[in-house]
Amino acid sequence: MQPTSLLASIVLLAAAVSTPLLAGDRDRDHERNRKHATDTRAANGFDHGMQAIPNSATPDAPGYGWRYFSDPTAHRAVVISPQGDYYYSHGKGLRRVVAAST
């Protein structure tokens, strides 16, 4: 085997082995440093981290009547439909958490 091929093989092997190791450390550090949602709630249950997002949709637009709230520091959001359904997102898309009572 030529020295150039040997060196290239060693570099590729080192890169393949180190990539999952670095990704695992990043995930653990992120979890350790992440603020949890309960950290921003006051004793009365009000979440001071959530901010209302203005919605200027007109009555003929699809987003009319929807209310949006976001907490950029905790990377989460809540959306309330006109019917009263609550949707929650923690960075992986919306999922319905509370359905409106019928």
Between 34 and 9, residue with greater pLDDT: 9
Position 74 scores a pLDDT of 84
pLDDT at residue 37 is higher than 60: no
Q: What is the mean pLDDT of the chain?
A: 77
Rounded Cα gap, residues 46 and 51, in angstroms: 12
* CB environment 80-92: b (16+ within 10 A), e (fewer): beeeeeebeeeee
DSSP per position, 70-81: EETTTTEEEEE-
pLDDT at residue 42 is higher than 60: yes
Strands 95-98 and 51-53: unpaired
pLDDT at residue 30 is higher than 60: no
Position 81 scores a pLDDT of 92
Position 28 scores a pLDDT of 55
